[in-house]
Amino acid sequence: MSCNMAGEEDFFLEEKRFKQYCEEFIKHSQQIGDGWEWRTSKDLGDGYLSKTHFQVRNRNIPPDLKENSDNIEQTLFTHVEESSDDSQVAGVCATEEVIHYEYHVLYSSSYQVPVLYFRAYFLDGRPLTLDEIWKSVHACYKARLLEGPWDTITQQEHPLLGQPFFVLHPCRTNEFMSSVLTSSRKQNRHINYIVLWLSTVGPVVGLNLPLSYANLAPKQNTNADSV
Protein backbone atom coordinates (compact mmCIF):
# COMPACT_ATOMS: atom_id res chain seq x y z
CA MET A 1 0.00 0.00 0.00
CA SER A 2 1.34 3.44 -0.97
CA CYS A 3 0.18 7.02 -1.47
CA ASN A 4 -0.63 8.59 -4.83
CA MET A 5 -0.27 12.21 -5.97
CA ALA A 6 -3.67 13.13 -4.52
CA GLY A 7 -2.60 11.96 -1.08
CA GLU A 8 -4.89 8.93 -1.12
CA GLU A 9 -3.69 5.45 -0.29
CA ASP A 10 -3.18 2.97 -3.11
CA PHE A 11 -4.91 -0.33 -2.40
CA PHE A 12 -3.23 -3.00 -4.49
CA LEU A 13 -5.00 -6.32 -4.21
CA GLU A 14 -2.87 -9.37 -3.46
CA GLU A 15 -3.82 -12.57 -5.28
CA LYS A 16 -4.37 -14.41 -2.00
CA ARG A 17 -6.77 -11.71 -0.84
CA PHE A 18 -8.47 -11.74 -4.24
CA LYS A 19 -9.28 -15.43 -3.83
CA GLN A 20 -10.58 -14.89 -0.29
CA TYR A 21 -12.95 -12.19 -1.49
CA CYS A 22 -14.05 -14.47 -4.32
CA GLU A 23 -14.82 -17.27 -1.87
CA GLU A 24 -17.05 -14.95 0.16
CA PHE A 25 -18.66 -13.69 -3.05
CA ILE A 26 -19.42 -17.19 -4.36
CA LYS A 27 -20.81 -18.31 -1.00
CA HIS A 28 -23.35 -15.49 -1.07
CA SER A 29 -24.10 -16.13 -4.74
CA GLN A 30 -24.95 -19.74 -3.93
CA GLN A 31 -27.20 -18.63 -1.08
CA ILE A 32 -29.27 -16.39 -3.35
CA GLY A 33 -28.94 -18.47 -6.54
CA ASP A 34 -27.13 -15.78 -8.52
CA GLY A 35 -25.18 -18.24 -10.67
CA TRP A 36 -21.55 -17.31 -9.97
CA GLU A 37 -19.02 -20.14 -9.71
CA TRP A 38 -15.26 -20.67 -9.49
CA ARG A 39 -13.61 -22.34 -12.46
CA THR A 40 -10.05 -23.64 -12.66
CA SER A 41 -7.87 -23.89 -15.74
CA LYS A 42 -6.78 -27.52 -16.20
CA ASP A 43 -3.48 -26.59 -17.83
CA LEU A 44 -2.40 -23.61 -15.74
CA GLY A 45 -4.10 -24.31 -12.42
CA ASP A 46 -5.27 -20.70 -12.12
CA GLY A 47 -8.92 -19.93 -11.51
CA TYR A 48 -11.55 -17.26 -12.09
CA LEU A 49 -15.11 -16.27 -11.26
CA SER A 50 -17.63 -17.14 -13.94
CA LYS A 51 -21.28 -16.44 -14.66
CA THR A 52 -23.59 -17.06 -17.63
CA HIS A 53 -26.42 -14.62 -18.23
CA PHE A 54 -29.17 -14.51 -20.86
CA GLN A 55 -30.50 -11.12 -21.88
CA VAL A 56 -33.71 -10.61 -23.82
CA ARG A 57 -33.55 -7.71 -26.25
CA ASN A 58 -36.32 -6.11 -28.34
CA ARG A 59 -38.73 -8.92 -27.69
CA ASN A 60 -42.52 -8.85 -27.86
CA ILE A 61 -43.26 -9.86 -24.29
CA PRO A 62 -46.37 -11.98 -23.70
CA PRO A 63 -49.10 -10.21 -21.67
CA ASP A 64 -48.66 -12.56 -18.70
CA LEU A 65 -44.98 -11.59 -18.38
CA LYS A 66 -45.17 -7.95 -19.39
CA GLU A 67 -45.60 -6.63 -15.84
CA ASN A 68 -42.48 -8.34 -14.52
CA SER A 69 -39.47 -8.60 -16.81
CA ASP A 70 -37.67 -10.66 -14.15
CA ASN A 71 -40.01 -13.52 -15.02
CA ILE A 72 -38.51 -13.63 -18.51
CA GLU A 73 -34.99 -14.23 -17.24
CA GLN A 74 -36.30 -16.73 -14.69
CA THR A 75 -38.02 -18.64 -17.49
CA LEU A 76 -34.79 -18.66 -19.46
CA PHE A 77 -32.67 -19.79 -16.50
CA THR A 78 -35.14 -22.55 -15.63
CA HIS A 79 -35.05 -23.78 -19.18
CA VAL A 80 -31.26 -23.59 -19.43
CA GLU A 81 -30.77 -25.47 -16.17
CA GLU A 82 -32.66 -28.38 -17.67
CA SER A 83 -30.43 -28.43 -20.74
CA SER A 84 -26.94 -27.02 -21.36
CA ASP A 85 -27.67 -26.74 -25.09
CA ASP A 86 -28.22 -23.09 -26.04
CA SER A 87 -30.49 -24.16 -28.90
CA GLN A 88 -33.04 -25.34 -26.36
CA VAL A 89 -33.58 -21.77 -25.21
CA ALA A 90 -34.88 -20.90 -28.67
CA GLY A 91 -38.13 -22.53 -27.63
CA VAL A 92 -38.61 -19.79 -25.06
CA CYS A 93 -37.57 -16.77 -27.11
CA ALA A 94 -36.71 -16.02 -30.73
CA THR A 95 -33.03 -16.69 -31.43
CA GLU A 96 -32.16 -13.23 -32.68
CA GLU A 97 -33.69 -11.65 -29.58
CA VAL A 98 -31.74 -13.51 -26.87
CA ILE A 99 -28.08 -12.78 -26.13
CA HIS A 100 -25.89 -15.18 -24.19
CA TYR A 101 -23.42 -13.30 -21.97
CA GLU A 102 -20.50 -15.00 -20.27
CA TYR A 103 -18.66 -13.01 -17.60
CA HIS A 104 -15.25 -13.92 -16.13
CA VAL A 105 -13.41 -12.16 -13.31
CA LEU A 106 -9.66 -12.81 -13.34
CA TYR A 107 -6.78 -11.55 -11.25
CA SER A 108 -4.19 -9.40 -13.00
CA SER A 109 -0.71 -9.87 -11.57
CA SER A 110 0.53 -6.89 -13.59
CA TYR A 111 -2.00 -4.40 -12.24
CA GLN A 112 -2.75 -6.26 -8.98
CA VAL A 113 -6.49 -5.76 -9.48
CA PRO A 114 -9.41 -7.88 -10.74
CA VAL A 115 -10.27 -7.70 -14.44
CA LEU A 116 -13.66 -8.27 -16.07
CA TYR A 117 -13.63 -10.34 -19.26
CA PHE A 118 -16.83 -11.12 -21.13
CA ARG A 119 -18.20 -12.33 -24.43
CA ALA A 120 -21.65 -12.30 -25.93
CA TYR A 121 -23.36 -14.11 -28.76
CA PHE A 122 -26.80 -14.88 -30.11
CA LEU A 123 -28.22 -18.35 -29.63
CA ASP A 124 -27.47 -19.22 -33.25
CA GLY A 125 -23.79 -18.90 -32.34
CA ARG A 126 -23.13 -15.52 -33.98
CA PRO A 127 -20.93 -13.43 -31.67
CA LEU A 128 -21.61 -9.76 -31.05
CA THR A 129 -19.07 -7.47 -32.67
CA LEU A 130 -17.24 -4.75 -30.76
CA ASP A 131 -19.51 -2.22 -32.46
CA GLU A 132 -22.61 -4.10 -31.24
CA ILE A 133 -21.16 -4.24 -27.74
CA TRP A 134 -20.64 -0.48 -27.78
CA LYS A 135 -24.22 0.04 -28.94
CA SER A 136 -25.46 -2.07 -26.04
CA VAL A 137 -23.68 0.14 -23.47
CA HIS A 138 -26.17 2.39 -21.69
CA ALA A 139 -25.94 6.05 -22.68
CA CYS A 140 -25.12 7.13 -19.12
CA TYR A 141 -21.88 5.10 -19.27
CA LYS A 142 -20.91 5.62 -22.91
CA ALA A 143 -19.78 9.24 -22.53
CA ARG A 144 -17.51 8.33 -19.60
CA LEU A 145 -16.04 5.38 -21.50
CA LEU A 146 -15.15 7.60 -24.44
CA GLU A 147 -13.56 10.24 -22.20
CA GLY A 148 -11.22 8.02 -20.18
CA PRO A 149 -9.19 4.88 -20.80
CA TRP A 150 -9.68 3.25 -17.39
CA ASP A 151 -12.65 1.19 -18.47
CA THR A 152 -12.42 1.23 -22.26
CA ILE A 153 -13.86 -1.86 -23.86
CA THR A 154 -11.42 -3.72 -26.10
CA GLN A 155 -11.08 -7.25 -27.42
CA GLN A 156 -8.21 -9.41 -26.21
CA GLU A 157 -7.24 -13.03 -25.85
CA HIS A 158 -8.44 -14.59 -22.62
CA PRO A 159 -5.24 -15.23 -20.60
CA LEU A 160 -6.39 -18.68 -19.44
CA LEU A 161 -8.64 -19.90 -22.25
CA GLY A 162 -6.76 -18.43 -25.22
CA GLN A 163 -10.07 -17.35 -26.80
CA PRO A 164 -11.18 -13.86 -27.88
CA PHE A 165 -13.02 -11.98 -25.12
CA PHE A 166 -14.00 -8.38 -24.55
CA VAL A 167 -12.36 -6.75 -21.54
CA LEU A 168 -12.72 -3.60 -19.47
CA HIS A 169 -9.15 -2.33 -19.30
CA PRO A 170 -7.85 -2.25 -15.68
CA CYS A 171 -5.20 0.45 -16.00
CA ARG A 172 -7.07 2.87 -13.71
CA THR A 173 -8.94 0.40 -11.53
CA ASN A 174 -6.61 0.98 -8.58
CA GLU A 175 -7.11 4.73 -8.92
CA PHE A 176 -10.87 4.77 -8.47
CA MET A 177 -10.90 1.84 -6.02
CA SER A 178 -8.32 3.54 -3.78
CA SER A 179 -10.56 6.57 -3.52
CA VAL A 180 -13.61 4.52 -2.56
CA LEU A 181 -11.73 2.25 -0.16
CA THR A 182 -10.11 5.20 1.57
CA SER A 183 -13.54 6.68 2.15
CA SER A 184 -14.86 3.36 3.46
CA ARG A 185 -11.99 3.06 5.94
CA LYS A 186 -12.62 6.55 7.27
CA GLN A 187 -16.24 5.49 7.91
CA ASN A 188 -15.02 2.23 9.45
CA ARG A 189 -17.01 0.27 6.89
CA HIS A 190 -16.02 -3.32 6.16
CA ILE A 191 -16.57 -4.23 2.55
CA ASN A 192 -15.81 -6.95 0.03
CA TYR A 193 -13.49 -5.60 -2.66
CA ILE A 194 -15.03 -7.76 -5.42
CA VAL A 195 -18.55 -6.60 -4.58
CA LEU A 196 -17.56 -2.94 -4.55
CA TRP A 197 -15.54 -3.18 -7.76
CA LEU A 198 -18.03 -5.34 -9.70
CA SER A 199 -21.00 -3.19 -8.71
CA THR A 200 -19.07 -0.25 -10.20
CA VAL A 201 -17.84 -1.69 -13.50
CA GLY A 202 -20.45 -4.41 -14.10
CA PRO A 203 -23.41 -2.18 -15.05
CA VAL A 204 -21.34 -0.74 -17.90
CA VAL A 205 -21.71 -4.07 -19.73
CA GLY A 206 -25.11 -5.15 -18.46
CA LEU A 207 -23.97 -6.96 -15.31
CA ASN A 208 -25.86 -5.90 -12.20
CA LEU A 209 -25.46 -7.30 -8.69
CA PRO A 210 -28.49 -7.91 -6.44
CA LEU A 211 -28.66 -5.45 -3.56
CA SER A 212 -28.09 -8.22 -1.01
CA TYR A 213 -24.38 -8.25 -1.95
CA ALA A 214 -24.08 -4.87 -0.24
CA ASN A 215 -24.54 -6.61 3.10
CA LEU A 216 -21.67 -9.01 2.42
CA ALA A 217 -18.78 -8.06 4.69
CA PRO A 218 -15.86 -9.97 6.20
CA LYS A 219 -15.63 -10.35 9.96
CA GLN A 220 -13.96 -7.37 11.57
CA ASN A 221 -11.42 -9.44 13.48
CA THR A 222 -10.03 -11.10 10.31
CA ASN A 223 -8.68 -7.87 8.79
CA ALA A 224 -10.03 -9.13 5.48
CA ASP A 225 -10.82 -5.59 4.41
CA SER A 226 -7.13 -4.69 4.42
CA VAL A 227 -6.07 -5.06 0.82
Classify 11 as helix, strand or coil.
Answer: coil
pLDDT average, residue stretch 10-32: 92
Q: Which CB contacts under 8 angstroms, 24+ apart, belong to 133-141?
A: 133/166, 133/205, 136/205, 136/206, 137/204, 137/205, 138/203, 138/204, 141/203, 141/204
Other Cβ atoms less than 10 A from the Cβ of 184: the count is 15
- Write the single-letter amino acid at 31: Q
* pLDDT for residue 174 is more than 50: yes
Compute the mean pLDDT over every residue in the chain, rounded to the nearest whole number: 76
What are the two backbone dihedrals, phi and then psi, of residue 73, each rounded to the nearest 5 degrees? -65, -35
The pLDDT of residue 145:
65
> Element (H or E) spanning 133, and its range?
helix 130-136
pLDDT exceeding 90 applies to what percent of the chain?
37
- Catalytic residues, which ones? 171
Rounded distance between C-alpha atoms, residue 203 and residue 137, angstroms = 9
pTM comes to: 0.75
By CB atoms closer than 10 A (0-12, 13-18, 19+), residue 183 is exposed
* pLDDT for residue 39 is more than 60: yes
* pLDDT for residue 56 is more than 60: yes
Longest Cα separation, the chain: 56
